[in-house]
């Protein structure tokens, strides 16, 4: 896939799936802006890993609408436009209903939805305004198999990803007349820096056995699917949610 001279913004781009996606786009010729929330060093290291020139990082907390607008404006100004948005940033933390108090429950839902769903929706809005001016673009949202199978210990996360899938399909219908195509990928468990310790523990065997392949996904495998949905050749897949879970959950 060729993305020469394409301008790409990736949220949560400093590690894991986001970093792998940034590398893949840069290797395909794109100019990449990565958004990060707090870890400036990780963002700088990610930028150093990208081949080519003109890549940069922008700090922003996407749970705040004003920060989202400033992030997109900064990316557009620096790159003189925006062709592809990848909504990858997200929160995932435990808040089980049987052991959380009401204050913790409220906080978990507020924090998770503000970042995973409302933040992503605001990014879609701001990016789409620029893309409509340019005559088109691509938006790829990173969802999760948890949208379908449920997340009993992290219910706000599952709900946020189900909402992201529905949002992606709605926006695909709304934006197609403007030559803007929207899709989503729904990964299962992925081996990243954050999950490596868990995979190396006793629980790792059970996690790998969820897939008949006997393993979990690599970030690069998810990145490949994101690039496919962002490619010119994939325009007619707009509105699809692409499962990347090694047949660990089928629906």
Return the active site residues.
157
Tell which residue, 145, 180, 182, 156, has the closest CA to residue 167: 182
How far apart, in Å, are the Cα atoms of 92 and each of 102, 128, 146, 194? 18, 27, 11, 11
Pairing of strands 180-187, 7-11: unpaired
Tell which residue, 92, 134, 137, 86, has the closest CA to residue 113: 92
């Amino acid at each position: 896939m060729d993305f020469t001279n394409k301008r790409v913004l990736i949220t949560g781009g400093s590690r894991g799936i986001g970093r792998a996606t940034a590398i893949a786009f840069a290797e395909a010729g794109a100019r990449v802006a990565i958004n990060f929330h707090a870890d400036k060093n990780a963002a700088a290291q990610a930028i150093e890993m990208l081949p080519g020139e003109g890549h940069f990082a922008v700090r922003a907390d996407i749970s705040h609408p004003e920060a989202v607008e400033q992030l997109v404006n900064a990316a557009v100004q620096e790159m003189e436009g925006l062709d592809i948005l990848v909504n990858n940033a997200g929160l995932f933390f435990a808040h089980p209903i049987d052991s959380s108090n009401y204050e913790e429950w409220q906080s978990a839902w507020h924090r998770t939805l503000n970042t995973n769903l409302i933040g992503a929706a605001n990014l879609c809005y701001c990016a789409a305004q620029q893309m409509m001016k340019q005559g088109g673009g691509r938006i790829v949202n990173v969802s999760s198999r948890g949208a379908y199978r449920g997340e009993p210990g992290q219910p706000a996360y599952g709900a946020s990803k189900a909402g992201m899938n529905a949002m992606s399909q709605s926006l695909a219908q709304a934006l197609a007349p403007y030559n803007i195509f929207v899709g989503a990928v729904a990964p299962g468990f992925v081996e990243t820096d954050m999950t490596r310790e868990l995979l190396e523990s006793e629980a790792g065997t059970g996690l790998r056995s969820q897939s008949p392949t006997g393993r979990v996904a690599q970030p690069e495998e998810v990145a490949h699917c994101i690039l496919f949905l962002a490619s010119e050749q994939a325009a007619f897949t707009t509105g699809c949610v692409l499962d990347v879970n090694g047949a660990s959950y089928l629906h």
